[in-house]
Chain A
Amino acid sequence: MHIPDGYLSPLTAVPLMAVMVPVWGVAVKKVRETVKKKDVPLLAVGAAFSFTIMMFNIPIPGGSSAHAVGAVLLAILLGPWAATIGVSVALLIQALVFGDGGILAFGANCFNMAFIMPFAGYFVYKLIRGNSEILSGRAIFAAALAGYVGITLAALCAGIEFGTQYSLFKAADGTPLYFPYPLKTAVITMVGAHLTLAGPLDAVATALGVWFVGSSYPTLLPRDARLITNS
């Protein structure tokens, strides 16, 4: 769901970038206040993990592909604001070095995958996990569901963003200027691909990640709260 340049009008891409500026500002402030120097390697490996997991493309029936993002895993391990930083860094490198996602569309892509996804997922995780222990069945299920809901909402946002271009921006000859398919098609396809395939993949990655970190480094994630209390 890395929107390339050319599918969003500047009238859509620029406001989404403008929304992200204060979000990044708050994220940097929150992370500076709450993430300690010794926890920075966890943020680094988390961002690197998100970058790498996005390279695992899976086929979607109809000839397209999708992938997991891992933003909710970062949110569970480090808090949603740190996830915003980590995933934004991964998306920046993807756009600049690999041409995956546009430059003008960078704000939109960060809004979907580095803001909506970690915060929505984090909310679901907290709601379902309650006070259960980090490695309990309930908490692992909560992590899986959080990844599933988070990535599907991110895909919904992406679908709305480019899907609305179709009716909003037409050339003089009536052809679409940017994204060439209607909103309905965009939303159904994006949400469908993520509800059925990329969502379950992100659910497994998030649950496995929490389980792996929790069992490898039991002191990292306290029983009743996560590493960093910054919400």
Chain B
Amino acid sequence: MFQQYKKLWIALIALIIISPLGTLTQGTAFGEWGADELKEVLGFVPQGFEKMSDLWSHVPLPDYSVPGLPDSFMGTAGGYILSAVVGVGLILIVIAIFSRFVKE
């Protein structure tokens, strides 16, 4: 899988290494606030939101961070890179499974 488009994989690895640039902005994207942010801004948490927001609580790497790493830039950056590696690895596995259904 990796020999064929070597330059593309190298470019992807380079992107992963510089991905901590994406952590420099602190703001939450519009419409992606958590319950605590809503409470702070609105003064209340919408009732439907409160019921549904925890639908999936088994997230192992919340917000691309690794639980237990220090809250410093290095900790955040390391967690971010590790998250990218895990995410890319899982994507490759899913696409590899999918490719079994693709013709020769």
Q: Footprint of B on A, CB under 8 Å?
A: 1-7, 9-10, 28, 31-33, 35-38, 40-45, 47-49, 51-53, 55-60, 62-67, 85-86, 89-90, 92-100, 102-104, 158-159, 162, 169, 171, 175-180, 186, 189-190, 193, 212-213, 216-217
Give Cα A89–Cα B89 distance, bound, in whole angstroms.
Answer: 12
Question: Are B101 and A212 within 8 A (Cβ)?
Answer: no
| Cβ–Cβ contact A177 & B61, under 8 A | no
Q: What residues of B have a CB within 8 angstroms of the CB of A189 in the complex?
A: 30
Can you give 30 A-B contacts (C-beta < 8 A)? A6-B49, A36-B102, A36-B104, A37-B104, A41-B5, A43-B95, A44-B92, A45-B5, A45-B9, A47-B91, A51-B84, A51-B88, A53-B15, A55-B84, A57-B25, A59-B24, A59-B27, A60-B29, A66-B30, A89-B98, A93-B94, A95-B56, A98-B59, A98-B64, A98-B83, A99-B59, A102-B52, A102-B55, A179-B31, A216-B8
Q: CB < 8 Å: which of B25, B31, B96 contacts A7?
A: B31
Q: Mark interface residues in B56-97 (1 if CB within 8 Å of A CB, else 0).
A: 100111111000000000000000100110111011101110
A190 touches B31 (CB 8 A): yes
A32 touches B50 (CB 8 A): no
Q: Verify B28–A65 contact, CB threshold 8 A.
A: yes
Give the distance in Å from the alpha carbon of A220 to the alpha carbon of B10 in the complex: 18
Q: Is B46 in contact with A52, judged by CB distance below 8 angstroms?
A: no
> Given A44-B91, A48-B12, A171 and B55 touching (CB < 8 A)?
no
Residues of A near B21 (CB, < 8 A) are 56
Report the bound CA distance from A58 to B48 in whole Å.
30
CA distance A89 to B70 in the complex (A): 30
Query: Could you tell me the distance between the alpha carbons of A49 and B9 in the complex, rounded to whole angstroms?
Result: 9
